[in-house]
Structure 1
């Protein structure tokens, strides 16, 4: 039987070569969705393979096993938020503006990345077991505390900020205020209504989170600086 030109072309065509780094990125993107939606135990490698047009064998080649992939997804999630913080140019701002920008960034990042929040919640269910084996996550997070410490020191040197503020505790406070907004949005809005989760409500919350942190940090005679950093 005579073959059509299209059939000859399809038969003779060589399969497209996929970029290995692109394949890895695709796997991590889909795995983030799968793990954040279904947890470590509920996530299916078959589903990740199907959605990325690859194979379980290839996934295991890149990441070792399911837990290795999960740990790598955690590292990517933390790397994204810490990478965003390094782009804020906190050292180029006055201390009040720097702290406000950091607060607003953290709130908006968490709001825009609910999968990150779910991944952190899932890892807490596992008592942080996988984070403990990741040198990358420890290395990513320590600079965040150091950057905040630098902002505090500059503010204290200018007599703007109170003395004795622990940068780790302040990081905890900023994270807690921003985290709850996403982690408890479903239950909170079901009980109290969704007004706080409209675009306007979220903007107000974001602004007030920064204001609360600044009121805690600023010396009483400098509270008038709040809201004047634009």
Structure 2
């Protein structure tokens, strides 16, 4: 190879290749999230994900072995997103009652703004959470439970909260009050003849949830 020929050969620098790979994986994960949320794990197709991401299907298999591994990666990303948002609340810097209220409000608002998260969890539950058991998503739940436990203990030590509250059980209750309402909105609205996702109905629901949770944790 002559010097002039060698100079004409373009070699893509490693950092640029890494950026391209990172962009491709990010696009695949977003597309997969939307496909899984809309179609469920069983109904989702790799062809559909490739079309949404505007990539070759073979590239998806290159980064993610199969649909199960891709779904696991999407779940991990979804949990990481909500946990990162929770950490930005800085709950430990607030008075305990305000911190609990803010967590309830955040959980409600997040669910309303991210219906895809609930759809992903529905698919995960239909498959007995086998993808979560193999992932690091369980580790991501620890910070919020630890934070809530510290808030409860601070409230108890200040004479504001009653003792003996399990932070895990309390967090499950907060999530359940939100997720049941959102996932069963259509049937509940039909049965009770009310538009339960109207702005007024959502405000009433959130106020009810805050009163319910704070009424439970506060001392008489």
TM score, norm. by length of structure 2:
0.89
Taking the TM superposition and a 5 Å limit, the aligned residue runs for 1:67-106 are: 67-106=68-107
Distance 2:191 2:37 in 1: 24
1:118 corresponds in structure 2 to 119
Q: Cα RMSD between the aligned structures?
A: 1.3
What residue in structure 1 maps to residue 6 of structure 2? none
1:172 corresponds in structure 2 to 172
Query: Corresponding residue for 2:159?
Result: 159
Measured in 2, the distance between the counterparts of 1:216 and 1:66 equals 42
Which 10-residue stretch deviates more, 154-163 or 56-65? Answer: 56-65
Is the 1:111–1:181 Cα contact (8 Å) retained in structure 2?
Answer: no
Question: Aligned pairs, how many?
Answer: 203
Distance 2:61 2:203 in 1: 42
Per-residue CA shift, 1:76-120, capped at 9, x if unaligned?
111111111100010110001000000000011011111111111
Look up the SS of the partner of 1:197 in the other structure: coil
In the alignment, which residue of structure 1 is the partner of 2:8?
A: none
The aligned runs of 1:1-230 (5 Å cut-off) are 19-134=20-135, 136-220=136-220
CA contact (8 A) 2:37 2:116 kept: yes
Whole-Å separation in 2 of the counterparts to 1:193 and 1:116: 27
1:191 is displaced (CA, Å) by: 2.1
Q: Which runs of 5+ in 2 are unaligned?
A: 1-16
SS at match of 1:54: coil
Q: 1:46 Cα shift? A: 0.5
CA distance in 2: counterparts of 1:191 and 1:45, whole angstroms: 38
For residue 172 of structure 1, report the CA deviation from its aligned partner. 1.0
User: Can you list the C-alpha shifts for 1:129-153, whole angstroms capped at 9, x where unaligned?
Assistant: 111100x201101111101101101
CA distance in 2, matches of 1:158, 1:24: 48
Decide whether the 8 Å contact of 1:161 with 1:218 is kept in 2.
yes
Q: Give CA deviations for 1:44-85 in whole Å, capped at 9, x if unaligned.
A: 100111121111111111112111100011111111111111
User: Unmatched 5+ residue regions in structure 1?
Assistant: 1-16, 221-230
CA distance in 1, matches of 2:145, 2:77: 19
1:36 Cα shift?
1.3
